[in-house]
């Protein structure tokens, strides 16, 4: 039973990418915020991550949590990210600790460091630019959503230090299904393909680590997020690269 | 009128140290959470930092804010620090931006990095130990209070980047009036004397900077917080050192 992996925010697009790639690899338990439009292939529940009883029920008998749930809108208002993203993540950590969960994979975001871009745009989107963020830098959120994701990372650090569960924060880039964003240098620089997204989360479920902050992008020629740490600690081995695409066609 | 400095949390002990040292140096406006026990020497109001109308009234016509208010208890429960420290700080930043405040000095705390100590204790309290935190490291809070202070720092980063006000986060050590803590290596390592506390805040009101995270301790022989950044950017020139004391007596 401890092999069960709880996936919160299962109805979102990151959850979709993970289930697409890892459907048969784990005993999933899915937590939805709203009733799913079609019957899921795995055991599931509908509940609020901000409600401790729901969070406890979701975590019961679980070995690992992938926590994606929250308000995903980059322009989400403060009150919503304060409640859903910051408080909700704290409630999930509490429930995970109480249930004896051993690892907690947390969906952070590129928005936690969005303001690093402002002063370097657009040079850093070019393939030859060598600027890299590596996850050791202090956050520079570009919006309240990013503030909330940075706060979730700090909560993860606290719960790791205090309760010894492994915590991996993944600053997810620009996830798109199929081809990378078209005519959008920035989106191509932080592109994360669906298969690489699933693989990266599998790595975070399998590898041995304490507390990590890594970037979640494919191995794009254009990049300003380093994926070295993810490769080194998690064994991340991305297969996609936005430079291999022209529009909707893979050309390499 | 823009020379007015708003001091929130004026009734607390950090506020007391600042007013002790800088009473005549600024046109103060004091914000109290509870009615002050005796009539203050400066214009004041009583209000809630979590209430936008109170925050706006407090910031009106103000050139700088020293924001100390919040739940100061290291063991404060999550709900209180979420509301008073994280949300309250956001409300104060909003009010400051709306009022055209140019600089915002934020009372962060050693608790934002409390868990760095756990694995190095007690070596790092010794004068010969060379380990230093310098403010560029990611937070490792030791409690929810510390989580909230780290979140306040991130909010400061966001408001600086987004609205261009100068923000200085001071990770305040162990402030005591008169002598340093007795028979307490840790407290002596992070001692901040009342005069040095006032001087450091004056530096943060006067110096030219964008966004800073500095440690607020005296120039103690024992230390694991670097004060180099505060010296370099703010012109901090601390006069006290816990090593110069034996018990309640200054011996150097």
What pLDDT is stored for residue B88 in this prediction? 98
Q: At a CB cut-off of 8 Å and minimum separation 6, what does A184 contact? A: none
d(CA A199, CA B121): 39
Distance of residue A14 Cα from the nearest chain B Cα, in angstroms: 25
Chain A residues touching residue B146 (CB < 8 angstroms): 158
CB atoms within 10 A of CB A51: 14
Show binding-site residues of B.
84, 109, 145, 149
Asked if B146's CB is within 8 angstroms of A151's CB, the reply is no
Q: Report DSSP letters for chain A, one per residue.
A: -TTEEEEETTTSHHHHHHHHHHTTTSEEEEEESS--SS--SS-EEE--TTSHHHHHHHHTT-SEEEE--S---TT--HHHIIIIIIIHHHHHHHHHHHHT--EEEEEEEGGGGTHHHHTTTTGGGSTT----B-S-SPP--SSHHHHHHHHHHHHHHHHHHHH--EEEEEEE-EEESSSPPSS-HHHHHTEEEHHHHHHHHHHHHHS--SEEEEEE----SS-SB--HHIIIII-------GGGEETTEE--
For residue A119 the two structure tokens come to 């002063």
Query: Was A109 annotated as part of a binding site?
Result: yes
Pairwise CA distance, residues B50 & A82, whole Å? 13
Cross-chain residue pair B151–A146, CB shorter than 8 Å: no
Query: Quick check: B150 and A147 CB within 8 A?
Result: no
Q: Compute the average pLDDT of residues A71-98.
A: 98
In this prediction, residues A139-150 reach a mean pLDDT of 98
CATH topology (fold) of B4-250 = Rossmann fold (3.40.50)
Residues 6+ away with beta carbon under 8 Å from A51: A91
pLDDT at A120: 78
Cβ of B161 and A115 within 8 Å?
yes
CA distance B56 to B92: 8
Kindly report the backbone phi and psi dihedral angles of residue A233, in degrees, each rounded to the nearest multiple of 5, phi listed first: -90, -40
Q: Which residues of B are less than 8 Å from A52 in CB distance?
A: none
One-letter-per-residue 3-state SS of A91-142: HHHHHHHHHCCCEEEEEEEHHHHCHHHHCCCCHHHCCCCCCCECCCCCCCCC
Helix (H, G, I), strand (E, B) or coil at B159: helix
Please tell me whether the interface predicted TM-score (ipTM) of this complex is above 0.85: yes
CA distances from B184 to A39, B62, B181, B247 (A): 61, 40, 6, 10
Distance from CA of A155 to the nearest CA of B (A): 7
A139 contacts in chain B (CB < 8 Å): 154, 157
Q: In what order do the strands lie in the sheet with B27-32?
A: B44-46, B27-32, B4-8, B64-67, B103-109, B166-172, B211-216
Positions of chain B with pLDDT lower than 50, given as ranges: 1
Cβ-Cβ pairs closer than 8 A, A with B, add up to 75
pLDDT of residue A135: 97
- Distance to chain B for A165, nearest Cα, Å: 15
B87 neighbourhood in chain A, CB within 8 Å: 82
> Which residues on chain B are in Cβ contact (under 8 Å) with A84?
none
For all residues of chain A together, what is the average pLDDT? 96
| Cβ <8 Å between A78 and B86 | no
Interface test mutation site (partner A, options B149, B161, B171, B212, max chain A beta carbons within 10 A): B161
pLDDT attached to residue A201: 98
Interface contact A154-B162, CB threshold 8 A: no
Pairing of strands A249-250, B44-46: unpaired
Nearest by Cα to B7 from B98, B85, B106: B106
| Bond into A122 cis (ω within 30) | yes
Residue A143 has pLDDT above 50, yes or no: yes
Q: Judging by DSSP bridges, how do beta strands A249-250 and A245-246 pair with one another? A: antiparallel
Distance from CA of A21 to the nearest CA of B (A): 32
Query: Would the CB atoms of A157 and B90 count as touching at under 8 Å?
Result: no
pLDDT at A1 over 50: no
Answer whether B15's CB lies under 8 Å from B172's CB: no
Yes or no, beta carbons of B158 and A136 under 8 Å apart? no
User: Mutating which of B147, B154, B163 best tests the A interface, going by the most A Cβ atoms within 10 A?
Assistant: B154
CB A234 within 8 Å of CB A166: no
C-beta of residue B57 within 8 angstroms of C-beta of residue B47: yes
Q: How far is residue B49 from each of residues A75, B57, B101, B171, B182, measured CA to CA in Å? A: 24, 10, 16, 20, 35
B247: left (phi over 0), alpha (psi -120 to 50) or beta: left
Q: What is the pLDDT of residue B1?
A: 42
Angstrom CA distances, A110 to A74, A140, A143, A191, A248, stand at 10, 10, 11, 11, 24
Contact residues of B toward A, CB < 8 A:
78, 82, 86-87, 90, 115, 118, 136, 138-144, 146-147, 150-151, 153-155, 157-158, 161-162, 213
User: What is the reported pLDDT for A51?
Assistant: 98
Average pLDDT over residues A108-130: 89
Q: What pLDDT score does A3 carry?
A: 86
A82 vs A144: CA distance, rounded Å: 9
Measured between beta carbons, the chain B residues lying within 8 angstroms of A162 are 115
* CA A11 vs CA A40, A124, B33, B129: distances in Å: 10, 33, 43, 51
Q: Is B59 helix (H, G, I), strand (E, B) or coil?
A: helix
Q: What is the pLDDT of residues A178-203, one digit of tens each?
A: 999 999 999 999 999 999 999 999 99
Residue B32 annotated as catalytic: no
| Mean pLDDT of all residues in A40-51 | 98
CB A64 within 8 A of CB A42: no
Smallest Cα distance from B78 to chain A, Å: 9
Whether the Cβ atoms of residue B147 and residue B81 lie closer than 8 Å to each other: yes
Indicate the DSSP class of residue B38.
Answer: S
Cβ count within 10 A of residue A174 = 20
Residue B106, beta-bridge partner list:
B67, B169
C-alpha distances (whole Å) from A91 to each of A3, A204, B195 are 22, 21, 41
Q: Which of A78, A153, A155 lies closest to B90 in CB terms? A: A78
Interface touch B154/A142, C-beta < 8 Å: no
DSSP conformational letter for B180 = P
Asked if residue A208 has pLDDT above 90, the reply is: yes
Q: Are the CB atoms for B85 and B104 separated by under 8 Å?
A: no
Interface test with B, best of A158, A159, A169, A214 (most B CBs within 10 A): A158
Cβ–Cβ < 8 Å for A154, B150:
yes
């Amino acid at each position: 039973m401890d092999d069960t992996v709880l996936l919160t925010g299962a109805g979102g697009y990151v959850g979709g990418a993970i289930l697409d790639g890892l459907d048969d690899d784990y005993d999933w338990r899915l937590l939805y915020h709203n009733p799913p439009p079609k019957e899921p292939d795995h055991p599931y529940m509908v509940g609020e991550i901000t409600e401790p009883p729901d969070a406890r029920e979701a975590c019961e008998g679980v070995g690992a949590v992938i926590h994606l749930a929250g308000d995903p809108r980059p322009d989400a208002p403060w009150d919503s990210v304060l409640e859903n993203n910051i408080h909700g993540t704290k409630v999930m950590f509490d429930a995970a600790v109480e249930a004896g969960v051993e690892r907690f994979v947390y969906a952070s975001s590129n928005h936690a460091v969005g303001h690093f871009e402002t002063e370097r745009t657009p040079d850093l989107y070019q393939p030859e630019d060598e600027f890299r963020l590596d996850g050791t830098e202090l956050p520079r959120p570009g919006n309240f959503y990013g503030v909330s994701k940075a706060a979730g990372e700090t909560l993860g650090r606290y719960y790791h230090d205090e309760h010894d569960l492994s915590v991996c924060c993944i600053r997810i880039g620009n996830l798109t299904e199929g081809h990378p964003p078209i005519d959008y240098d920035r989106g191509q620089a932080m592109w994360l393909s669906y298969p690489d997204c699933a693989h990266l989360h599998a790595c975070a479920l399998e590898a041995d680590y304490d507390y990590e902050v890594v970037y979640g992008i494919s191995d794009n020629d254009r990049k300003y997020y380093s994926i070295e740490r993810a490769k080194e600690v998690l064994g991340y081995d991305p297969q996609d690269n936005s430079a291999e695409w022209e529009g909707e066609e893979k050309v390499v």
